[in-house]
Each structure stands twice: as structure tokens, then as C-alpha cells.
Amino acid sequence: DGGITQSPKYLFRKEGQNVTLSCEQNLNHDAMYWYRQDPGQGLRLIYYSQIVNDFQKGDIAEGYSVSREKKESFPLTVTSAQKNPTAFYLCASSNRAGPSYEQYFGPGTRLTVT
Amino acid sequence: ELKVEQNPLFLSMQEGKNYTIYCNYSTTSDRLYWYRQDPGKSLESLFVLLSNGAVKQEGRLMASLDTKARLSTLHITAAVHDLSATYFCALNRDDKIIFGKGTRLHILP
């Protein structure tokens, strides 16, 4: 089945540790995105990538880093510099060749840092 | 800067009633999206509206787009409990999609 997978579903870390969230898609989409969602809030864009080996900062990139070495994969690292990392993280991808640029979302990773 | 405003942000309604969620945006955009999110879950795409006057319907939900007014509506007809969720509208800006804060819909049996 085609889709987007994120792992793990739940992640617990101690403050001061870096942690990497996985995002993989087999939809052959060029563009991939990372969002953060806090309770009762909308989505805020962290980073996005339109093509392999290229990515851009979103609205809240500080304390995060990404890589895009393969078309299928767009891992997000939450560094110790991120002041308040506990949140729900959603990865998405889209087909920029299509007319709608519709984004498809993965199931999300809930990160808790104590 | 593109701003996306939804209202209401919270809506509690009785089953069987009709209601409308509004999505206003500040600058022109050629694509508008509606998503649904159940508690603790990811986002599910409902509608993509691409042109002025576009109307799409799926079951009890109908979305429309008025690009001149910079307004989209999501109309719920004869609400049922299963429609309880948070609904987001979103628009594309350059190569990004900007989301509204969401409307949390609670349908009472």
C-alpha cells in the first residue's frame, strides 16, 4: 500500500538529548514537510523539502534539523536547543507535479521530553 | 503575509442540525484545502478547491470557495455524532501550505 509512515508513534526523551523522528513515503512524491502541533492548536511548519538534497526552513525551524538524502525519506532531528520540544509531530508529502499540491499526512509521532 | 482565520474555533451542536464553518484568508491563493483531524490522530484530506465558485460535497459535508471574497465555507447538514472532530482549512503560499487554527466540532447526541 502507498502511504507515509512515521516512527515511532510515541517517543520519550530526557531533556538535553537529541532525538530523530523518522518519516518515509512510498508515494513517489517530490515534496515533504514537517509540522509541529501543540494541544488545541493548528499546525506550524518546521522544515520542508521540494527535492532531494535541498530543504528550506519553515516558520519555527530553530532547534530542529533535517536531511533529505533520499526521495523517500525526510528525518527530523529535535536538538537540545529546542526550548519546548514536547509536541505532536506530523510529516506530510505532496505531488508538486499535480494540480492540487494536496498534502498527505503520516500518522504522527508524539514526543515527550522530561 | 498569508493569514488564515477560521471561525468559530469551537462549536457544540445538536445532532440533526445544520451549521457552517467559515474560513477567511488574507491574500489570493489558487488552492484551498479542508482537512479533518480526530483526537490524537493525523489529518485526513476532505476537499481540495481549485477555482472560484467550486463546490464539493461528500456525505453530509459540503465545501465551497469564493475567491473574490477570500472565503471558504464548510457546511454540515443534519449533523451526526461521527462528524465530531477538528476541521482545518489551509491554503498554499508559494510551496508551503498555511493552516488555520482549526474548528473543534462537538456534536451532541
Please name the residue that has the C-alpha cell 506530510. A92
Q: Do B45 and A103 touch (CB under 8 A)?
A: yes
Give the pLDDT of residue B65: 94
In this prediction, what percent of chain A has a pLDDT beyond 90? Answer: 82
B109: distance to nearest CA of chain A, Å?
23
Nearest-CA neighbor of A56 among A79, A31, A38? A31
| Residues of A (31-60) whose Cβ lies below 8 Å from B | 31, 33, 40-43, 45, 48, 50, 56, 58
- The Cα B55–Cα B34 span in angstroms is 12
What is the sign of the dihedral through the CA atoms of A43, B6, B40 and B31?
negative
Question: Average pLDDT per run of 10 along chain B, which is 109 residues long?
Answer: 92 95 90 93 93 91 94 96 96 85 94
Give the pLDDT of residue A98: 65
A1 falls in which pLDDT band (50, 70, 90)? low
pLDDT in tens, A75-112: 999 999 898 999 999 999 998 766 667 889 999 999 99
Partner B contacted by A103 (CB < 8 A)? yes
The grid coordinates of residue B36 equal 479533518
Give the pLDDT of residue A111: 96
* Cβ burial B52-90 (10 Å sphere, 16+ → b, else e): eebeeeeeebbbbbebeebebbbebeebeeebbbbbbbb
pLDDT in tens, A3-13: 999 999 999 99
Q: What angle do CA B74, B79, B82 make, to 5 degrees?
A: 100
- The Cα A54–Cα A66 span in angstroms is 10
Give the pLDDT of residue A101: 77
User: Looking at the DSSP assignment, which residues form a beta bridge with residue B36?
Assistant: B44, B87
Partner A contacted by B88 (CB < 8 A)? yes
